A and B are shown apart, each in its own frame.
Chain A
Amino acid sequence: MIEYAWLIPVFPLVGMTINGIFGIKYIKDKAHWVAVPALGLSWLFSILVFIDVLNGKTALIELFDWIITPDINVKVAFWIDQLTAVMLMVVTTLSFWIHVYSIGYMGHDPGYPRYFTYLNMFVFFMLILVLGSSYLLLFVGWEGVGLCSYLLIGYWYERESAWKAGMKAFITNRVGDYGFILGMFTLWYYLGTLNFNEVFAKAHTLSPEIVTIATLLLFAGATGKSAQIPLYVWLPDAMEGPTPVSALIHAATMVTAGVYMVARSNVLYSMAPLSLEVVAIIGCLTAFFAATIGTSQFDLKRVLAYSTVSQLGYMFFGCGVGAYASGIFHLMTHAFFKGLLFLSSGSVMHAMSDVLDMRLMGSLKKYMPITSFTFIIGGLALAGIPPFAGFWSKDEILHHAFTSGHITLWFLGTLTAGITAYYTFRAVFMTFFGRGRIPKVIKEHLHESPPVMTIPLIVLSIGAIFAGFVGLKKGETTYFGEFLAPVIHVVHHANEGHAKAIPESMLIALSVAVGLTGIFIAYIVHMKKLIDPNEWVKRLWFLHRVFYRKYWVDELYFALFIDRTLDLAFFSWKFDQWIIDGVVNGAAWISRAFAWITRYCTEPFIVDGAVNGASYVVDLSARVLRRVQTGLVSNYMLFVVAGTVCLLTVFMFIRLF
């Protein structure tokens, strides 16, 4: 079956083409009859391929030549191994069920076919990303999913905030991509190839510095796509898109591309301890900071968004401490429970007429039993309570962090687990329990969602409960770790022996205890109201403000980069304008310039003395620039001559000395 794996991305491509061409005019509200079966077939094929891989098969499917020159050899080829198989399963499963869910959720949207076109396109590029056999092909998918993410965040373009968020996402991602491209070029320059198998085979020939630079640059790309410090700012805003999109792209699949890339390049990362350390620290810090921000948000989807940033941090943390398999394991479990949480919140949103402020919710359990049930399952998984999926993977990451000697990071990670449990159940209690604070208008037509939405919820909650069991211990490693072992190059830390002093069961007990404490605090604060949250806010006003304003990172970026870029653009534009806005009058230029020079260069020295001279010179040049009403063409010619003379001078000097 594995040799037909190339069909997997073809199905969504076909679906996208059909919907894209005929959708708006002919198919209209039947668009799901094209999109969903296409995904169903992809899912089916993925399962078959997965079974083949379980039986130990891997394959390299070469489709056709892409860029072939004497120096570059990149084929369009798919590389299917254990890691790809896991990713395939995650992507197609989630995609299929979220497509199904979308039928209900997007039902009455006027842009229905457009939505499914984008969604299919996204799945296509995501599959290219995970199947690609070279960094370049991975990059194609990488950019493609970025594009789809942009289109889908800005899907409701009538809302200004939506398209702004879309732009922000795309541009922030491009900043990261810039690192990725340079990383790719570094690899190509030193190895002469970009195909995974060749790169990894030749990696040992690289010097440690080069590997470090290349991996750091690649990681810069990952921070953009996977929303890590310092480029995480786009993800919370990306919640402007439709909720199924948030679930699929901004929680389960696309944002995990960075983790996949790091795990895929584990051979390189393992050669660069410094890079690994950076990955671990950035991951852990992101997990912590995002979690703290999550405690203060009132928008249900934003809480989930920050929790996604935080959980992605965990995945990188896992990779950074050398536990790539655990990182991928967390990626998989997270896809299930976070997808589930988003879809449940979408269901809430659907019922609440798009209200998302948790202060206006409460007691929803009465009205929406299935949704609240699935949300709680997702919440338990996220909080890391056994036996739900999140527990197994998170615990494995923390365990590896501890045994590899990153005690500080382990501590921070464990603390984060507690905070995670707190904000998750803060959301649960505020939304589904307690006193109803729902406005009357909404209350009147509050209802449980239709089966087409609840069935995906139930399916995913099964995943959120049972997906963790593949991480059960099997001797030294886990079932999941053993499956991935062929693609993972294990790092052996020198101080492993020292850390073994504390038994694993202790660590597990500790992290479970921390999680339960978080839930307990949320319970007494937001359920029992034993402590008034407002009182706390007052007492810790400073912390609350910092969290609520998200550490002012957005404002900082604006002041530092965006405004500066615009200034530069504006300046160079004005510079051109000044040349353009003239009339043909070359002679006047010289006489006027002379007039100004004589007037302002002589007068200041007489009147104000030499001290003020300098400011006059600046003033003068500005005035001259403004006063120069020169001819268009003569001025251009002046610049041509000036440019030529400058070039000659510069390069004559280079020659002379």
Chain B
Amino acid sequence: MYQAISPYVPVLILILLAVLFGVVTLLIAWLVRPNAPYSEKLSPYECGVEPLQPGKLRMSIRFFVIVLLFLLFDVEAVFMYPWAVMYKPLGWWGFIEMALFVIILFVGYIYAWLKGALEWE
């Protein structure tokens, strides 16, 4: 048991050191620093231009759906590259596998279509 653990002892020491470093730094800073807060100092924009409007912008939810769909079919395409390279050695078996994969995605595509996810309005 001990034998197996021993290679990891340096890692353990590293973790301990890291934690200790953080704690010690914070502690020293806390002991040394003067503590005189006032409201502007505590505000998130201590320097720079004052914000004119809330940072949150409203986006149409449709972007989200489109992005999801895009990602999905993009990954499908990515998956096809290695198959294309190995097309010959994989033979019929590979072809059927891939066809199944595409069919399942195709079902998803039809579903998305029928549900109106592809329409903007």
Contact = CB atoms under 8 A, between A and B. Distances in A.
Complex contact flag A–B (Cβ < 8 Å)? yes
Interface of A: 594, 598, 655-656
A656 B30 contact: no
Interface in B3-35: 26-27, 30
Contacts of A656: 1-2
A594 B25 CA distance: 14
B110 to A, nearest CB: 35
A578 B1 CA distance: 39
Interface residues of B, number: 5
Contacts of B26: 594
Q: Which 4 A-B pairs have the closest CB atoms?
A: A656-B1, A655-B1, A598-B30, A656-B2
B105 to A, nearest CB: 32
A594 to B, nearest CB: 8
Contacts of B2: 656
B116 to A, nearest CB: 33
A598 B30 CA distance: 10
Contacts of B27: 598
Interface string B42-72: 0000000000000000000000000000000
A246 B56 CA distance: 73
Contacts of A655: 1
Interface of B: 1-2, 26-27, 30
A598 B1 CA distance: 38
Nearest to A655: B1
A598 B35 CA distance: 15
A20 to B, nearest CB: 50
B78 to A, nearest CB: 31
A657 to B, nearest CB: 10
Nearest to A598: B30
A655 B3 CA distance: 13
A407 to B, nearest CB: 64
A656 B6 CA distance: 13
Contacts of A598: 27, 30
A537 B27 CA distance: 75
A589 to B, nearest CB: 16
B44 to A, nearest CB: 14
B50 to A, nearest CB: 25
A656 B4 CA distance: 11
Contacts of A594: 26
A594 B29 CA distance: 14
B90 to A, nearest CB: 41
A490 B1 CA distance: 61
A598 B28 CA distance: 12
Nearest to A595: B30
Contacts of B1: 655-656
Contacts of B30: 598
A578 to B, nearest CB: 26
Nearest to B2: A656
A596 to B, nearest CB: 14
Nearest to B26: A594
A462 B78 CA distance: 96
A655 B1 CA distance: 8
B73 to A, nearest CB: 31
A580 to B, nearest CB: 28
A598 to B, nearest CB: 7
A656 B30 CA distance: 40
6 contacts: A594-B26, A598-B27, A598-B30, A655-B1, A656-B1, A656-B2
Nearest to B30: A598
A656 B26 CA distance: 36
A25 B57 CA distance: 64
A226 to B, nearest CB: 55
A594 B26 CA distance: 10
B106 to A, nearest CB: 36
B15 to A, nearest CB: 13
Nearest to A594: B26
B86 to A, nearest CB: 40
Nearest to A657: B1
Nearest to A656: B1
Nearest to B27: A598
A655 B2 CA distance: 10
A595 to B, nearest CB: 10
Nearest to B23: A594
A598 B2 CA distance: 36
A656 B27 CA distance: 35
A654 to B, nearest CB: 11
B21 to A, nearest CB: 15
B1 to A, nearest CB: 6
A598 B26 CA distance: 11
A601 to B, nearest CB: 12
B7 to A, nearest CB: 15
B27 to A, nearest CB: 8
B20 to A, nearest CB: 15
B8 to A, nearest CB: 12
A602 to B, nearest CB: 10
A598 B29 CA distance: 13
A296 to B, nearest CB: 68
B35 to A, nearest CB: 13
A190 to B, nearest CB: 38
A570 B107 CA distance: 52
A16 B90 CA distance: 70
A594 B2 CA distance: 35
